[in-house]
Chains A and B, each alone.
Chain A
């Protein structure tokens, strides 16, 4: 299915820079599908969303900034990959520099791909292609 007319996805955006979050939000609006964006501003909030006492709906795609307050992006990634239920969720790292050393670490930890900020239209197309179709019977996340 072409990405432009695929069914809407739930996307977890972990980004501390409000401007960058706004950019992601604005760009995804271009696509026809009404993708739902859950934006958290630091690593701890991301972990709370995924593993907290009241986890949000499981995302189909995680867009993760690496330089985050509280708990950094690599740690978030490590915990996602440690979870049997969550590690199948494609995680795409957002970075301002392809030379970032942390990128290599991110790939080692299981990141699917990365996108250089600002993400272009082609970038988003690529992003949406990588995500699998949303699981119909996906249950809300919970600590098991």
Chain B
């Protein structure tokens, strides 16, 4: 190929030669017309020019050689050959021009071998470059012989020029006038030639620099840049080639390129060469090549034809790039992409991408299946088409994510399906960004939580059920956390205490516990908590009216589903009634015990008397006085037994008789009782006063009569030596309760006897008749009627008052 600079070079060179020839010719023409002297001056100038021309030609040889060394391009050999030829011509010219000057001939003799040597060196370098490559040629140049030879040439030429200058001086004196015009012509021609030559030189230099730059690029390229001829013989080999294929330039230049081609691809080279021969280029042809070590490489090859000056294809430059890495990367990307696609479509999680307009860009299989569609049916479609009811709601979240750039997580929402069934999903939305970071849509990751939701709903129903169950259970139920603070009370509890949940929570419930039970209960509660043991405790709990009820509280540690301690639950039952029954029972037991004693002792005692005195009677039958006495003891004992049995029977009857309760005035009951004890009353002359108030008693008639009968009887027995005995029966209101009383002015009760008086068989006085059952019976009847009884006395001689209550007693005014 011919570059413009190459044309300029040839043109400039031709012009300068033409100029020189024309000037020479002109000078020769003038020689005929001017004197010899002036001819000689001209001649001398010509000689000088020829000498310098000879030198510059020699320099041209050197520079052409250098160009060739650097590029290896045969183009440079053309000026080289031209310059070599020119140098030879110039030597001949100078020798002929100076044939008359022996000194110059002598100098030429010295010069010629030097020039020849220099040319020889140049030829050698060219050869080495061709045969051994750049480095070898470069090394040869670096040897410095060329430069030294050149210096020697220059010295000789300067000597010759000096000779000519001296000649010129001598001839110039002769020729000065006549030669003025000739001289001017010569100078002008020489100057013009020199200018032209300088231009050519500058062009050459420029071109040379470009070539050097090009060479450097070629050399430093990572790509392999290989020159080859049309036979496939490698002509140049850069560092990149060396690096990629492993061959040094020296070992491969001059051999066939087929060394680089795997055997099964040899035909490729034929095709490439075919194209090159046709002047065509091969662009980015990806194939496999083989390294020196035999490794196969993925390479991309670009081959371009190289043409000579006439445009004939003489070879090819081939650029090969190692794309193994790129190929591997491409393979990895393809593999990764396939893997991702597989994962994308096989994960049970639903995933899709949407743009910022609510359109589905990509949808994975799981998502499509859940929606009841295929992937193809969903991708590229708008949410407004696929799920018109929910689309806007979804889009709101999308916009939020797109606007804020922040993910929105754990959105619980519905996902409609084509079957009409709605699935519950938990959705995470994260912004989807392009390579530059701009948010272009949302990535949606979605888990089907329908089953979980169903379970949760069932659980909620179950929870509500259990809450209601516990809330309205007949037991008082509480819950406490791991910190022993109460966290819940059921409705039954709250109704029982009349307090609000807020009041009872934490330690609030403690306020309702009876102060006497509090410390004991807290200790049981806290100890049990610390040991996580079940506990049971009875205590009094305040009711809304301020009274206390006994409850039995059983607590047990609770574990959560994972088995961890999560607090306590407790159940309480109202045991007030049970406590009363227990109290009643223990009293009855005590009574029973006394009864046993009575049977074994109080009944046995008169029996012993009877039996013993019957024995005495047998002996005393003849003694009327003793006999009467014995019989008296026997009778007395029998009476005692009868009384005792009667009383026991009466006592037993209280528990057995099931007479219908009646309402009757106090006065009627007292009148009946007085009828029974009238004898004792009259005997002792007691004045009995009964209140006229309209008090109505409610209960078992015979039992109520028995109460007053026994109290009156007891009062009469203990009147002592009171001269004006008086018994008062009445009723009064105390703390809103009607209290009945029987008061006497007798000898009163010794404080030490107070606790015993209501016990069975407790006789306080040996001389007072009675079985000791009366007051025990009174208490029993009063209690059976829901009342209480107690005796008051300020001490011996101060009289006694028995005060008692009976359930449902009322004062009714007409």
Contacts and interface: CB of A to CB of B under 8 A. Distances in A.
Nearest to A42: B766
Interface string B610-639: 011100100000000000000001001100
A20 B768 CA distance: 17
B658 interface: no
Contacts of A117: 605, 608
Given A69-B763, A69-B764, A19 B601 contact: no
A19 B600 contact: no
Nearest to A22: B633
A70 B753 CA distance: 8
Interface in A5-23: 16-20, 22-23
A52 B247 CA distance: 147
B636 A96 contact: no
Contacts of B600: 96-97, 99-100
Nearest to B629: A22
B775 to A, nearest CB: 14
B637 A19 contact: yes
Interface in A77-127: 95-97, 99-100, 117-118
B767 interface: yes
A19 B600 CA distance: 18
**Range class of the B interface residue count:** 20 to 34
A100 B600 CA distance: 8
A20 B609 contact: yes
Given A22-B633, A23-B612, A96-B600, A70 B605 contact: no
B159 interface: no
Interface residues of A, number: 21
B433 interface: no
A16 B608 contact: no
A67 B612 CA distance: 20
A14 B766 CA distance: 12
B766 A20 contact: no
A26 interface: yes
A20 B767 contact: no
A118 B605 CA distance: 9
B390 to A, nearest CB: 89
Q: Is the interface of A mostly helix, strand, loop or mixed?
A: loop
Contacts of A70: 764-766
B763 A17 contact: no
A118 B604 contact: no
B759 to A, nearest CB: 12
A41 B612 contact: no
A76 interface: no
Given A41-B766, A42-B766, A68-B766, A17 B611 contact: no
Contacts of B766: 16, 41-42, 68-70
Nearest to B768: A69
Contact of B765 (A69, A95, A99): A69
B608 A96 contact: yes
Contacts of A100: 597, 600-601
B605 A20 contact: yes
B797 to A, nearest CB: 16
A64 B768 CA distance: 20
In the A-B complex, list the 5 residue pairs whose CB atoms are closest, starting with the nearest: A16-B766, A19-B609, A69-B766, A96-B604, A19-B633
Given A20-B608, A118-B608, 6 more contacts: A20-B605, A22-B633, A41-B767, A42-B765, A69-B763, A96-B601
Interface of A: 16-20, 22-23, 26, 41-42, 67-70, 95-97, 99-100, 117-118
28 contacts: A16-B766, A18-B633, A19-B609, A19-B613, A19-B633, A19-B636, A19-B637, A20-B608, A20-B609, A22-B633, A23-B609, A23-B612, A23-B613, A41-B766, A42-B765, A42-B766, A69-B764, A69-B765, A69-B768, A70-B765, A96-B600, A96-B604, A97-B600, A97-B601, A99-B600, A100-B601, A117-B608, A118-B611
